[in-house]
Structure formats: structure tokens, C-alpha cells
Structure 1
Amino acid sequence: MSEVMKALQQSEQAYQAQISQPHLSSPARLNVTKTTRWWLVGLFAVLPVIAILAVMTYLHFNSATLEPSQLEATDALTNQKRAVILENSEPLAKLLPYPELTELTALPKPVAKPLPARPKPSTTASRNNSPSEGRRIKTDQVNVSDVSKQDWNVDNLDLSGLSPELAQRFQSALKKHSTQSASQTKITSMPTKPQNAINLVGHESDYRGRLPKMNFETHMYSSQSQSRWIKVNGNNVHEGEWVINKLVKLDQILPGSLIVTFDNQQLQIPALYEWQG
């Protein structure tokens, strides 16, 4: 702004100087007037630019001086707000007073309750006789027809009041019932080991190298003889068939063993036994 004022003063002084020279000739005065006018026109054209530059310079220096103070004020306000928030917020940790210690009392000892006594299972050692000993099951046979007749008192019934056809049907029904009961209570005797059969177990040395190799894989025993069979060396064999053609023949299948004939001698072999030959 000071430069603008100086320029204005100089122009004013130049103008006054031109007025104070009346002794100058008219042509020279005209030349000076024209020159002054052109100079004034250029000055007025430059003045707005100079004014804008001066204002921008002033604002720049003013903002440069105000920025630190504004930043300090902003920081102070922010810190003040943080302090207020921290004062109003709950503390993260509180110091609690140390508790007063009292005398410690011993805890009562746990009392173990006795477990209820459990009855011990009675173990009885039972020795099963091997099938080779020829164990027999003895049962008392009962004539069911006689018992049924005694229970029903059929013999004392008087059928004379019935028609002959109805009486015949009744008697046939009784006979059929007695026959079925007798067949159901019929007991099949268990096969026994021949007395002259030799147990292969215990006499291996006598037949090693003589008796062919046999691997008994399956042993199926049934109370009905036609349902008994074994699987030896991959083949199914029934009683009376050859285990090894013309050498070993299956004579009998027992519940836990079998009887074969080899070299005119009966041998008892355990079930599922593997003879290496």
C-alpha cells in the first residue's frame, strides 16, 4: 500500500509541476501534456494489478502469522475436551482397600461313605467231559398218550349219546394227538465213540509220514445224521464218504470230534484240526 501511495504522490507532484510552468511555449506544453496523459493512462492500467498483488501479499503474511496461533488455540481446545471426557468417564481401574485378614478355619474332612456290599457271584468250576468219552444223556421216557388219557379221563367217557360219525371223529382226533405228542417227545440218542478208536492227539508220532495231510475247516453236527457234514481240504464230506480217495474214510461225526478209518484202524480226530501229514 505504501508503494501505491508513493506513486500517487509522484503523479500529483508531476501534475502540479506542469501547471506551475506558464512560461513554456505552447508546442512544448502540448508535448508535455500528451506525454503525461499517456503516462497516467499506463499508471491507471497498472494500478489494479498492483493493488491485487498488494492485497494478496497482505493476506498471505497475515495468514502466516495467524496459523500458529490458530493451531495452538485448536490444540488447546482439543486437549480441554479430552480432559473433560476423561473426567466424566469411569476410571479403568479402581484401587480397592486391602481386605482385613481373619483367622482361617480348617475345612471339615470329607467322610467317605461305605459302598453297599455287592454279592459276589458264585463261581462253580464245571468240567465238561470230552465227546470222546462217550457221554450219554439219560432221560425218562414218558408215554404222553397215557398221561393225556389220564388227565382227560378219555377211557371213562360215554360216547353212546353221540352219533356214530361224531364219535368216530372224536376218537380219530385223540389218536392223532397222541401220535404227534409221541413224535415230539422222542429222544434221539447221541452217537458215541467206538471203543477201539485211537485218539490221534497223543499218537502223532505213530502216524506222522503215513496219514495224509488233512485240514478240517468246518464241522457241522446235527441230531439228524443226514444233516451232519464237515469241510476238509476244501471239500464237503458226509458220513460214509471218502475224505481222501481209497485212503481215509469218514465213519462218524461227533459233537466235538470225528471218526475216520485209515489202514483198517479207526482214528478219532478233534474238530477243526489241522494235520500236517
Structure 2
Amino acid sequence: MADGIVGSLKDAWGVEDDGPDPSKLPGLMELAESWLEEEENDPSDIAHHFETMRNRVVEAHVHRSQAISSGDVTYDPKFVAMVEKNLADMVSVEKALEHFIESSQEGDREECFEALGELEQSIDAMRESGDAIEAFLKNSPPVCMGCGSIGEEHVCPACGAERLILDPNARPEDERKIQVSDEVLDVYTAYAEVLAGKASMNDLVNALQSLEFTYLESEAIGEQTLTNEAATDRIKKTATELIAEIRATLDGIEKMHGVTKSRKIAELTEGWEAILNHTVKSQELLHKLNSQAESL
């Protein structure tokens, strides 16, 4: 998956040409052009696809704007300028989508074609500004999470906070963390404090190691269940599902561990999201397995 701001452009919206899929910008363009070529087709019949895309673009625009202006990190001025250009290009996409929606509702085919021309130009501009950001991030040195200084040292010599490679993609806070164990919450706390410049990667690693040990124990219990002659097929099925979720959680832990070398915030966040997603499911399966075992 593409990292950071470019990931949302290429993965979520499919700025790369993926065919006539209206959930992606090129596909939406192709669908609209072919639809409008038939005189008997009503443009308003496809307006809902444009409304859905507009809402997605607006939401992504808001998240990215909040990320770059939150004040949590002092970004390189060149990078800020690139993101602001990309945000402006996103506004152009939003306006072109709105132009098509309004024109289709009025039944004005000529204006619909005009809107598609605007949309094509806006997509090209957004792709170019996204590519510029991607190139910058690939070559950008780590940034201090505390004071915003730039340098190759993993720990900022000025304030002692971690230096990490930026990922300005905002992610909404997931309330599911209130459903997890204290050990998982400890990982989240360390993760959040690292990004805020208040904790070190060593603090995070310590929390990860504790959680990893717990899950390795749980994995062993699940494997023992599979070899238990008294276990029914239903219990073994639940145990197999549990082991799969545990291993996916361990993969998330490993990804977060890897940031001690890669320094990428994107990987740190991906690892945390994997831990959260699979921990919640693991807990559900563990309760299910316990209930099934009690019925023996």
C-alpha cells in the first residue's frame, strides 16, 4: 500500500487508471463519458456516483488539512507548500464534481461534458502534486516529533524526542481501544506519546514486548487445543480462527517493532491498526472458545 498522502490518492480513489469503476476517479470519468454519449440516457441517473465521490474527496480534504495544521509537528515549509498545493487541487476536484452534479440535475448535457473536462484537468493536477509529495517523502530525512528539527539522528540532540519520517495522513481516533486489555492500551499510549514527542521508541518497544509475550502464550494455548483429543470440531474451528487472529496481531507488533529501523510513521500506524483490529476479534474468539470448552 502506498504511504502517506499519496496512498489515499492512489489506493482509495484510484488515480491510477483502474478501469470503469465509478468508485474510482478514472472509472467515474469513463462511466460518465460513455453514459452521456447515448442521447436517451438521463445524466441525473449517474449523479449519485458523483455525490459519493465528492463526499469522499471532501472528507479526505478535511482530514489532510487538519493533519498539516494541527500543530503537533512542525513541517518543513517546502513540504507544507506541496501539501497546500495538493489541497487546492482537491478543491478543484470537488468543484468539478459539484459542477457535474448540478448540471446533471438540470439536464444540461453540454455543461456535464464541460464539468468532465474540468474534472480531468483537476485529477491530473492532483496526481502531479501527489507525486511531488511522494518524491519528497521518499527523500525526506526524519523529523523530530518534539521540536520539528530535521536530521539523520534517530533521537533529536536538541530535545531528546524521536525523529521519524512523516506521514501526514490523518486517521480518526478509533474508540475500539476502550474494549481492549491494559497491555494493548499501554501500546497505544506509548505509540501516541512517541508521535507527540513525549516518549521514546524504547518505551514503545517495552510495551510491545509485554504484549507479544502474552499473545505468544495465547497462541500456544490455541495450538494445544487443536491437539486435544477431547476438543470437538467446533472447538477446533474456533481455536484455528483464534490462532489466525493472534498471528495477525503478532504481525502488527512486528511492524511496529520495525519502525526502530525504518523510522516511518506510516508503518507505526499500520502496525497499531493491525493490533487493534485483530485484538478485538481475538478477544471475541477467546470468549467463544471458553464458552464452548465449558460445555464439554
What TM-score results when the alignment is normalised by the length of structure 2? 0.17
The structure having more radius of gyration, on CA atoms, is: 1
What TM-score results when the alignment is normalised by the length of structure 1? 0.18
Bigger share in helix: 2
Structure with more relative contact order (C-alpha pairs < 8 Å, separation 6 or more):
2
